[in-house]
Amino acid sequence: MTTLLCGHEVAKQITDFLPDAVAVGDGTSVIIKGERLLPVAQFLQNTPGLDFDYLVSITGVDYAGYFEVVYHLTSIKHNHGLILKTRCYSRENPALPSVTSVWRGADFQEREIYDLMGISFSGHPNLRRIFLWEGFPGYPLRRDYL
Amino acid sequence: MALKTEPIVVNIGPQHPSTHGVFRMRVTFDGEVIVDLEPCLGYLHRGIEKLAETRTYTQNIPITDRLDYLASMTNNLAYVLAVEKLAGVAVPERAEHLRVIMAELMRISSHLMAVGAFLNDCGAFMTPFLYMFREREKILDLFEMVCGQRLTYNYMRIGGVSHDIPDEFLPALRRFIAEMPGFIDEYDQLLASNEILLARAKGVGILPAKLAINTSASGPVLRASGVKWDIRQADPYSVYDRFDFGIPTGEVGDVYDRYWVRIQEMRQSVRIISQAVEQLPSGEVCASMPCLLRPPVGEAYGHIEGPKGELGFYLVSDNSIAPYRFHIRAPTLINLTALRDMTVGWKLADAIIIFGSIDICLAEVDR
């Protein structure tokens, strides 16, 4: 059974490494600050005992007031998982650092979020719309798109 | 004297017999050798994630049939598992066993299609494909018995399955289980040591284990690279923890290994089905559910080992009758991430079989 790591404990480990990275850690997930995403991703991948080598999925969710991007991580070595979240509060220019340099599996998924949710990922090698055509008006997966 | 060459860009697809749907590869060639490849997607994008936000949880089950239509049962299963996780629904034992039987039949059917189409790409035009179709037809007959459909089954329900199996189902299924290993031996005899297949597939399109993990490859593509990772054992769902089955893994991660892993997985699926039939309990096939399900506020990620890889549904509920967010972790989209790495340095004909060996379904890639 894949054990889901407790958010509090992982949040503590991340805080020991980067004191200002964690926003909240609860029982099931860790919410980190967007600007610290890349060093945290590297930390999660390379720290012995965590070894999150496999990025399962990335999802964007449009909540009223902010966008949440959810990263489901798994360690194939230890068979444990972690839900990592980060938030963007800007509706006009939401942006996050790209994690493609850490997990290349993020490539198409970040493009998908950019295409349908309108969140741009800085440092992505090929950030273009993936399903819709260039010039498509709006971002369909936003809740206010009708 | 070195010959001066210039790179040339060729679009393969979106209308091309070997792209398995409307898929376009933008390939840069130097002579006949591939120097760059970019998958271009979106020709079959139907906005399913947005559509699902306007439909109730139960109404979304038939939508999942339209993702990977070669594995509709497993799509159903992944979705209902996610909803059950979100709403905390307990499923009757008999329904759990029926789900496993259907999911494994679906895996065999999908792998038959994958191997058949792959051999088509290799140039063994239609003959192996029709051998595979012979058995796939029997599986479709079984599905037709339980739900009346042959492609889009809509069989799973939140809390169980839609119907109990009819009386003629189990005898037909037992006959199928008894015959199938012999048919797989037949494929092996025709294909596994076929010189042309070995020459085309051995050592071609290698995906090293480390790269496979880093590019989030899953399913047979990941296991062919030697990574023993199968969600049925790593994170068992339904009643998979009660069955004894092996996880075949490849050695080098080439096209041949991906073919070989699929053939071996069919054997394991037959083993799982025969155990599930033996243990099949009697009783209800669906828990009692409200007409309009309103899961509590929260989120859930349900995932299964689909025939093509890890199929996951990420659902967010705001306690209304429709999901607030409905995200599909599509295995075939993510398996395409490594396509460029596998094909660069090979020739056009190799690119076709490397792409075929990933086994994608465009309806799931584009959604």
Every domain of chain A and the residues it spans: 3-91
Give yes or no for residue B1 having a pLDDT over 70: no
Give how far Cα B153 sits from Cα of A117, B71, B82, B120, B176, Å: 31, 10, 18, 27, 20
With CB atoms and an 8 Å threshold, state whether A53 touches B214.
yes
Nearest chain B alpha carbon to A73: B216
Mean pLDDT estimate for chain A? 87
Closest CA to B266 of B191, B207, B196: B191
| Structural tokens at position B315 | 């659902």
Q: Look at residue B23 and tell me if it is in a domain.
A: no
Q: What's the pLDDT at B194?
A: 82
Nearest chain B alpha carbon to A145: B50
- pTM for the model stands at 0.90
Give yes or no for residue B151 having a pLDDT over 70: yes
Give A6: exposed, middle or buried? Use CB within 10 Å, 0-12, 13-18, 19+.
Answer: middle
SS3 content of chain B, % helix, strand, coil (to 5): 50, 15, 35
Q: Look at residue B180 and tell me if it is in a domain.
A: yes
Q: Give every CB contact of residue A98 below 8 A, 6+ residues apart in sequence.
A: A38, A106, A110, A121, A122, A123, A124, A127
Give yes or no for residue B359 having a pLDDT over 80: yes
Contact map slice: B 31-60 vs A, CB within 8 A: 38, 41-42, 45, 47, 49-50
Mean local confidence (pLDDT), B19-25: 81
Q: Look at residue B30 and tell me if it is in a domain.
A: no
Minimum distance, in Å, between the CA of residue A128 and any CA atom of chain B: 11
Give yes or no for residue B129 having a pLDDT over 80: yes
Pairing of strands A66-75, A80-88: antiparallel
Q: Look at residue B15 and tell me if it is in a domain.
A: no
Q: Give every CB contact of residue B125 below 8 A, 6+ residues apart in sequence.
A: none
Q: How confident is the model at residue B74 (pLDDT cuts 50, 70, 90)?
A: very high
With CB atoms and an 8 Å threshold, state whether A54 touches B216.
yes
**Residue found by looking up tokens 């998924």 in the block:** A109
ipTM score above 0.95:
no
Distance in angstroms (rounded) separating the CA atoms of residues B187 and B104:
19
With CB atoms and an 8 Å threshold, state whether A105 touches B215.
yes
> For residues B367 and B49, is the Cβ–Cβ distance under 8 A?
yes
> For residues B173 and B273, is the Cβ–Cβ distance under 8 A?
yes
Minimum distance, in Å, between the CA of residue A20 and any CA atom of chain B: 27
With CB atoms and an 8 Å threshold, state whether B301 touches A79.
no
With CB atoms and an 8 Å threshold, state whether B325 touches A62.
yes
Q: What are the φ/ψ torsions at residue B300 (nearest 5 degrees)?
A: -150, 145
Give yes or no for residue B341 having a pLDDT over 70: yes
> For residues B67 and B330, is the Cβ–Cβ distance under 8 A?
yes
**Residue found by looking up tokens 């494929």 in the block:** B187
pLDDT tens-digit series, residues B79-125:
999 999 998 888 999 999 999 999 999 999 999 999 988 888 887 78
Which of B36, B213, B222 is the best substitution to test chain A (most A C-beta atoms within 10 A)?
Answer: B213
DSSP classification of residue B226:
T
CATH assignment of A3-91, given 3.90.1150.10, 3.40.50.10320, 3.30.70.100, 3.30.460.80?
3.30.460.80
Q: Does A56 touch chain B (CB under 8 A)?
A: yes
Q: Give every CB contact of residue B148 below 8 A, 6+ residues apart in sequence.
A: none
Higher per-residue confidence, B19 vs B334: B334
Chain B positions touching A104 (Cβ under 8 A) are 211, 214-216, 337-338
Give B332: exposed, middle or buried? Use CB within 10 Å, 0-12, 13-18, 19+.
Answer: buried
Chains A–B, number of C-beta pairs less than 8 Å apart: 84
Which of A69, A71, A130 is the best substitution to test chain B (most B C-beta atoms within 10 A)?
Answer: A130
**Residue found by looking up tokens 């850490």 in the block:** A102
**What is the span of the domain harbouring residue B78?**
48-366
Chain B positions touching A109 (Cβ under 8 A) are 333-334
With CB atoms and an 8 Å threshold, state whether B334 touches A53.
no
Domain count along chain B: 1
Task: Tell me the CATH number at B296.
Answer: 1.10.645.10
Give how far Cα A78 sits from Cα of A51, A70, B147, B170, B229, Å: 8, 21, 40, 40, 12
Q: Does A127 touch chain B (CB under 8 A)?
A: no
Q: What are the φ/ψ torsions at residue B2 (nearest 5 degrees)?
A: -70, 140
pLDDT tens-digit series, residues A60-105:
999 988 999 999 999 988 888 889 999 888 888 899 999 999 999 8
Nearest chain A alpha carbon to B217: A105
Q: Does B171 touch chain A (CB under 8 A)?
A: no
Chain B positions touching A73 (Cβ under 8 A) are none
Give yes or no for residue B60 having a pLDDT over 80: yes
Chain A positions touching B214 (Cβ under 8 A) are 53, 103-105
pLDDT tens-digit series, residues B199-242:
888 888 899 999 999 999 999 999 999 999 999 988 898 899 89
> For residues B105 and B97, is the Cβ–Cβ distance under 8 A?
no
